Amino acid sequence: MKQAKHHRIKTITEYHAFMGIPKPDHPLISVIDFTLIKHVPGDQPVSLLLHFYSIALKKNFNARMKYGQQEYDFDEGLMTFTAPGQVIRIEREDEEELRHSGRLLLIHPDFLWKTVLANKIAQYEYFGYAVNEALHLSEKEEWTVMGIMQQIEQEYRSNIDKFSQDVIIAQVELLLVYAERYYHRQFLTRKISNHKILDRLESLLNDYFGSQEIQQGGLPSVQYVADNLHVSPNYLSGLLKTLTGQSTQQHIHDKLIEKAKEKLSTTDLSVSEIAYELGFEHSQSFSKLFKSKTNLSPLEFRHSFN
């Protein structure tokens, strides 16, 4: 894989200049027509670290794009979200002209200062999603998103007055709420795929708790589980919350308690030995977690079988 050239882009004006498109009408918010971006500068892959939010609706993309360690699939219209400080990597064939359509909304954090979205925007988990979990939209949903972006563009291109920022913020918030609705719909309508993830989660935890790995590495982390299921931690927890009402961490603890109950009821191992086999360095930590989940100490649970 070619070494990527890294670029830190702090302002929306810098982004426009980097992509070879006209200067933005507003320094803190911009809606870009993707057909205007024909080339990514340089003859090697580029990694872009942006200091602002980006919300993209992109179609027919003929390059390769990575976000974190995951690769985007642009075979269908996809809506994607990145937050300040996240890295996007773009790879293209040598000097091939980019072919893509759609819109890109850029929002600098300074534009949100002293507005309802200043803190609220961080609560939308899809800004942390890995790339292969991008949002798939129906044609009707694409038109809805495109319409809101056009409203935002029209507003900042008009004569700015004391209401302009409030109007734009309201439109951005509406866009984010629609995205939240579409993600929730995506969880529910992709039940077959989602239940496959549940099956893989169950198998992964069974294998982990039944191996020697737990004694060496301790309880599996949420990051470990997500990496092995090839999804992001936020996506996995969002999916599990929707389908089961429990987070990834709660699923890990449930599997731990299940294994602990099995050992307490079918073996003569001491509580300390069971704690060690389940990856705990100190038996007190194991006993505390067990009681918090069952309202019984490990010994009380064992005695209930006698």
29 and 152 inside one domain = yes
User: Which one, of 292, 277, 301, lies nearest residue 209 by Cα?
Assistant: 277
Q: Give Cβ neighbours of residue 191 (< 8 Å, ≥ 6 apart).
A: none
Count CB neighbours of 86 within 10 A.
16
159 and 292 inside one domain = no
29 and 159 inside one domain = yes
DSSP characters for 224-276? HHHHHHTS-HHHHHHHHHHHHS--HHHHHHHHHHHHHHHHHHH----HHHHHH
Count CB neighbours of 258 within 10 A.
12
Q: What is the pTM of this model?
A: 0.64
Which of residues 136, 164, 192 is at a domain's end? Answer: 164
Question: In the prediction, which pLDDT does 166 show?
Answer: 94
Which of residues 111, 145, 164 is at a domain's end? Answer: 164
User: Which one, of 14, 8, 13, 9, lies nearest residue 26 by Cα?
Assistant: 13
Question: In the prediction, which pLDDT does 93 show?
Answer: 64
150 and 299 inside one domain = no
In a domain, 185, yes or no: no
Instruction: Considering only CA atoms, give the Rg of the chain.
Output: 24
285 and 143 inside one domain = no
Burial label, 159 (beta-carbon count in 10 A; 0-12, 13-18, 19+): exposed
Question: In the prediction, which pLDDT does 11 show?
Answer: 95
Query: Which domain covers residue 292, as residue numbers?
Result: 249-305
Question: In the prediction, which pLDDT does 130 show?
Answer: 45
Give Cα separations from 35 to 32, 104, 140, 196 (angstroms): 9, 11, 21, 37
The CATH code of the domain that includes 57 is: 2.60.120
Question: In the prediction, which pLDDT does 198 show?
Answer: 80
In a domain, 263, yes or no: yes
Q: Give Cβ neighbours of residue 132 (< 8 Å, ≥ 6 apart).
A: 70, 71, 72, 73, 230, 231
Q: Give Cβ neighbours of residue 249 (< 8 Å, ≥ 6 apart).
A: 222, 237
In b/e form, how buried is each residue of 87-102, taking b as 16+ CB within 10 angstroms?
A: ebbbbbeeeeebebeb
Number of domains in the chain: 2
In b/e form, how buried is each residue of 243-253, taking b as 16+ CB within 10 angstroms?
A: eeeebbeebbb
In a domain, 47, yes or no: yes
DSSP state of 85: T
In a domain, 228, yes or no: no
User: Which one, of 196, 195, 241, lies nearest residue 222 by Cα?
Assistant: 241
User: Which one, of 25, 38, 44, 29, lies nearest residue 94 by Cα?
Assistant: 44
In a domain, 78, yes or no: yes
Q: pLDDT 10s per residue in the chain (306 long)?
A: 566 677 889 999 999 999 889 999 999 999 999 888 876 766 567 788 889 999 999 877 666 666 554 555 554 557 888 888 877 777 766 666 767 788 999 999 999 988 889 888 877 877 764 444 567 888 899 999 999 999 999 999 988 888 999 999 999 999 999 998 888 777 666 665 566 788 788 889 988 888 878 877 788 899 999 989 888 888 888 888 877 778 899 989 988 988 888 888 888 899 999 988 888 888 899 999 999 988 989 998 888 765
How many angstroms separate the CA atoms of 53 and 117, rounded? 12
SS3 for 46? Answer: strand
How many angstroms separate the CA atoms of 118 and 204, rounded? 39
CA atoms within 13 A on the CB side of 219: 21
Give Cα separations from 117 to 112, 176, 289 (angstroms): 6, 10, 37
Question: In the prediction, which pLDDT does 63 show?
Answer: 65
Amino acid at 245: G
158 and 255 inside one domain = no
How many angstroms separate the CA atoms of 69 and 131, rounded? 8
11 and 155 inside one domain = yes
Which of residues 119, 134, 164 is at a domain's end? Answer: 164
Question: In the prediction, which pLDDT does 116 show?
Answer: 87
The CATH code of the domain that includes 256 is: 1.10.10.60
